[in-house]
Amino acid sequence: MNQIDPSVVNAINGDTGRGQRASAEMRENFMTLLVAQLRNQDPLNPMDNAEMTSQLAQINTVSGIEQLNETMNGINDQIDASRFMQATSLIGKAVLVPGERVLVGDGDSTPFGIELGRNAEQVKVSIVDGSGQVVRELEMGKLNPGMHTITWDGKLADGTRAPDGAYRFRVEAMAEGRTISHKSFNYAQVLAVSSGYPDGPRLDLGGIYEPVRLEEIRQVI
């Protein structure tokens, strides 16, 4: 008796509607062939029961794959809907997302964060203005691995208030005389949530930032 064509299984995995038609057609053809073989088999050499059982098991496997795909599609839809609702709960809230921007307004500056993968013996943060000049250095000392939120008081090196505007921060983390890797995160506010992306909903953080995924958020402030 013929074996199940692997392309049929691939069709079921790749397209639910097309897979259902292929599965139904295959089951019908199989049963027609099975009945014909049973009618025309040699009575002295009947069909091997093990072979027939194996074929029936393969048919059930294909049917199971079809049903499993339908179930998984439903679960994926529910997960997508849940992720979107989770994202909408962040609208209006402040978050830390990948970036190096610091904003100053009326003497106040937005917080930012750094994430270390290992212990740092010395961490220094440099605040840089739009022309690339360092206007303030913050000595953070020793920091443990993990996420650290940092606040700049908005003052320049001479103690005067920094002009309103956008700045950037640079981080230098050292251990045993060597620079260690880190990740930088800046402040942003969630204005809206957009769907339709293949990797899930994106958070709209305003025109100065690109939309980000939920997984990119390190902290909700």
Q: Could you report the per-residue pLDDT of 189-199, keeping only the tens digit for each?
A: 999 998 888 88
Asked if residue 64 lies in contact with residue 14, where contact means CB atoms within 8 angstroms, the answer is no
Q: Which two tokens stand for residue 110?
A: 């937005």
pLDDT in tens, 155-166: 999 999 999 999
Q: Which of 38, 71, 88 is the last residue of a domain?
A: 88
- Tell me, yes or no, whether 128 and 77 share the same domain: no
In 3-state terms, the chain is what percent helix, strand and coil (to 5)? 35, 35, 30
- Tell me, yes or no, whether 137 and 77 share the same domain: no
To 5 degrees, how large is the angle CA 91–CA 94–CA 96?
Answer: 120
Q: Which of 57, 88, 119 is the last residue of a domain?
A: 88
pTM over 0.75: no
pLDDT band at 2 (very low <50, low <70, confident <90, very high): very low
Residue numbers of the domain that contains 36: 6-88
- Tell me, yes or no, whether 60 and 106 share the same domain: no
Q: How far apart are CA 120 and CA 143, in angstroms?
A: 5
pLDDT band at 82 (very low <50, low <70, confident <90, very high): confident
The reply to whether 1 falls in a domain is no
Q: In this prediction, what percent of the chain has a pLDDT beyond 70?
A: 66
Q: Which of 35, 62, 88 is the last residue of a domain?
A: 88
Helix (H) or strand (E) run with residue 32 in it:
helix 16-40
* Residue 85 scores a pLDDT above 90: no
pLDDT in tens, 92-110: 999 999 999 999 998 899 9
AA identity, residue 178: R
- Tell me, yes or no, whether 118 and 215 share the same domain: yes
Q: Which two tokens stand for residue 80?
A: 């997508």
- Tell me, yes or no, whether 79 and 106 share the same domain: no
Asked if residue 196 lies in contact with residue 186, where contact means CB atoms within 8 angstroms, the answer is no
